[in-house]
Structure 1
Amino acid sequence: MGIAVGMSGSGGLPETAAVLVVRRAVREWVAARGGRAPVVVGLSGGADSLALVAGAVAEAGPVTAVVVDHRLQDGSDAVARRAVAQALGLGCVDGLVLPVEVGRAGGVEAAARVARYAALESVRDGRPVLLGHTLDDQAETVLLGLARGSGGRSIQGMTAWKTPWGRPLLGVRRAQTVRMCADLGLTVWDDPHNSDPGYTRVRVRNEVLPLLEDVLGGGVAEALARTAGQLREDGAVLDMYAAELLRAARSERPEAQQSAAAPSGTGDTCPSTLSIEILATAPPALRRRAVRAWLTEQGISGLMNAHLQAIDELVRNWRGQGGVAVAGGGRAHRLVVAREHGTLTVRAQSRLDAT
């Protein structure tokens, strides 16, 4: 349960260069979403989220600031309360502190992110949630995606809007949010995790990007963010054509194959199957996107490029090889994409059978 911290109001903001940059970014985001409306802002107490709170109060509708207290550091509750107090001083209509339990699945950083997003979702009450990711965060995300080598989707970066998450500051540099907070006299919390070289993102931020900027003569962060935007535009077109391919692959299944695909219990095929013939004649980029979308519909996420390449081999270069394990279906079973009777299908396979 959240801890209510009260309500307050505030006057206007000084018209410094940094304040105007942040306000303009928020104003343009709000206009693109249809105009002023109530929003939730995820607040950490750092410069990016504090600047976003101030910009949202000035340019969006009523703002509720929400601090998720991960309780991973001593004194985190005091940090959270101080952040909310500053948000209320900036004019937020309300503020909450949400203590959460952080698991360990996927590492502390990933588990904290899962807990944070779940907490924000639990209190948004239909409102969009604004997050303080900046152009610098975008550049780091693109570099990390490039290192994974998982294809164009992994280097598209973050989007300014994906229901219910909004990121108005993706065109704003981190230095500008820091300057804005200084202009407003705000006390910024520097998370020790943001300087811990044990985190890959921290090393990318503090070592890799500065080196690239130095070697390549500057402008690297902007170039990476610009590339991500172009790839998202290209990706939207490819996704549209992939959706058409997915519909065609479903509709072209022979009647006998459709009836064979009906499930009759654990270990049987999933009711959704795709025509190998239709998939095989499509360009690889569309085929892999269609397969990814098909599996996502069935609750299978976290696919790696290796999964999609192996499934593609089932379609275009089948030599009698077995199916591709794509997810855990529980302790006793795993989910496997297989080629059967001219179709791609998903089966729940016994782990004992797989050994």
Structure 2
Amino acid sequence: MGFARAVLAARQAVRAVLAELDPGTSVLVACSGGSDSLAVALAVAAEAEPAAVLPRAVTIDHGILPGSAERAAELVEVLERHMPARSIRIDPSGAEGPEGSARTERYRAIAGEARRVGGPALVLLGHTLDDQAETVLMGLGRGSGPRSIAGMRPRGLLPGTDDVPFARPFLALTRVALQDALRGWGASWWEDPSNRADGPWRAADGRPLRRAAVRDRALPALSEALGLDVRGPLARTASLLQDDLDYIDGAADAALAGARAGEGLALEALRPLHAAIRTRVLRAWLLGLGARAGELTGWHVAAVDRLLDGETGKGIDVPGLRVARTRDCLVPVVE
């Protein structure tokens, strides 16, 4: 894709999102300075006036890599040539490990800024077709069911919130295409070393962060083995699954409401359900009780499902909590 075509593709993708907004709506670009999110910012800058929206930007300083505060300040200076912008410092040292804690705190900070500048503002995220392929492959590896294989949604509510909307305009565009767009704009971007498998961030056991390892090692190896670039097919798989799963999940939501018995679930309401619905009910129930989403797999849900026909008093540990079976219900165990 040539530079001019790449710029046009980026602008058209953002234009389609902004066209759905009322005039005067605030739009918040979450920008790391990497190629993907910087392309969102420049496309929004080009399309904001015709769409009559109010653009703003925020960058999150994780405070881990040397010089992060200086880089954040420099990025804010670049962004302010196009729209109001600010940097927010977070502390990613949480119980979820460096990757999970950084993600949680990053979204919390972005949500706070969206509420501050809008009612709240629509948050635009720079995830690409590459990111979608990585997400699908990671979901396959975890065995956590078809919802994880369906990947990232183009629109929704920011994780951890029930009021902050987001959109991902670039899920159909590759990272290379967006880098071409930035070259067309004459802009440079920052290559975050933590996005590389040999980067400075490591998992608790010393291995590379999962997404970085999938990006640098698993996807290239799979493409080599199959003789094709698997990113597009994986992203298409996600798109094909989303509508089907939305329908099934809607049925599961209704079944969950009907099965609730206090904090537990009534066995007589669960047993008649088809496995496709029942396992979704169990997963949603577990997540609602505080199970850790990034660690809860299909194996855990299946083990809880087997409690329906197990012995009274029998329980099982899932990431973040323990559940058990009484005579009539599945219940969380308070220790």
- TM-score exceeds 0.5: yes
When the two structures are superposed, what TM-score results if normalisation uses the length of structure 1? 0.80
Residue segments in structure 1 that go unaligned for 5+ positions in a row: 1-14, 251-257, 259-270, 329-334, 351-355
1:174-230 superposed Cα distances (whole Å, 9 cap, x missing partner): 001111111111121111112243233223222322233333333411110111112
Distance 1:224 1:24 in 2: 23
Question: Closer, same or farther in 2 for the Cα pair 1:83/1:206, shift >3 Å?
Answer: same
Counterpart for residue 6 of structure 1: none
Aligned residue identity for 1:283: H
Counterpart for residue 183 of structure 2: 182
Question: Closer, same or farther in 2 for the Cα pair 1:144/1:123, shift >3 Å?
Answer: same
Counterpart for residue 97 of structure 1: 87
> 1:54 Cα shift?
1.0
Counterpart for residue 223 of structure 1: 233
Instruction: Figure out how many residues of one structure are paired with residues of the other and give that number.
Output: 308
Counterpart for residue 265 of structure 1: none
Counterpart for residue 152 of structure 1: 146
Distance 2:326 2:311 in 1: 13
Aligned residue identity for 1:306: W
Distance 1:175 1:280 in 2: 49
Equivalent in 336, 343, 347 of residue 333 of structure 2: 347
SS of equivalent residue, structure 2 residue 127 = coil
Question: Closer, same or farther in 2 for the Cα pair 1:157/1:33, shift >3 Å?
Answer: farther
Distance 2:149 2:91 in 1: 31
Equivalent in 36, 50, 54 of residue 62 of structure 1: 54
Contact 1:128/1:166 (<8 A) preserved: yes
Equivalent in 287, 298, 302 of residue 305 of structure 1: 298
Aligned residue identity for 1:47: S
Aligned residue identity for 1:288: T
Contact 1:30/1:36 (<8 A) preserved: no
Counterpart for residue 213 of structure 2: 203
Question: Closer, same or farther in 2 for the Cα pair 1:233/1:100, shift >3 Å?
Answer: same
SS of equivalent residue, structure 1 residue 16 = helix
SS of equivalent residue, structure 1 residue 79 = helix
Q: Which sits farther off after the overlay, 187-196 or 34-43?
A: 34-43
Distance 1:183 1:216 in 2: 33
Aligned residue identity for 1:118: R
Aligned residue identity for 1:184: W
Matched, 1:31 2:24: no
Distance 2:325 2:132 in 1: 39
C-alpha root-mean-square deviation of aligned residues, in Å? 2.3
Aligned residue identity for 1:284: A
Matched, 1:323 2:315: yes
Residue segments in structure 2 that go unaligned for 5+ positions in a row: 158-164, 199-207
Contact 1:86/1:186 (<8 A) preserved: no
Counterpart for residue 278 of structure 1: 269
Question: Closer, same or farther in 2 for the Cα pair 1:88/1:212, shift >3 Å?
Answer: same
- Of all paired residues, the percent bearing the same amino acid is 38
Equivalent in 129, 132, 135 of residue 126 of structure 2: 132
Q: Which has the higher contact order (CA 8 A, sep 6+)?
A: 2
Counterpart for residue 18 of structure 1: 6
Question: Closer, same or farther in 2 for the Cα pair 1:35/1:133, shift >3 Å?
Answer: farther
Question: Closer, same or farther in 2 for the Cα pair 1:327/1:146, shift >3 Å?
Answer: closer
1:237-294 superposed Cα distances (whole Å, 9 cap, x missing partner): 11111122223334xxxxxxx6xxxxxxxxxxxx233321221111111001112223
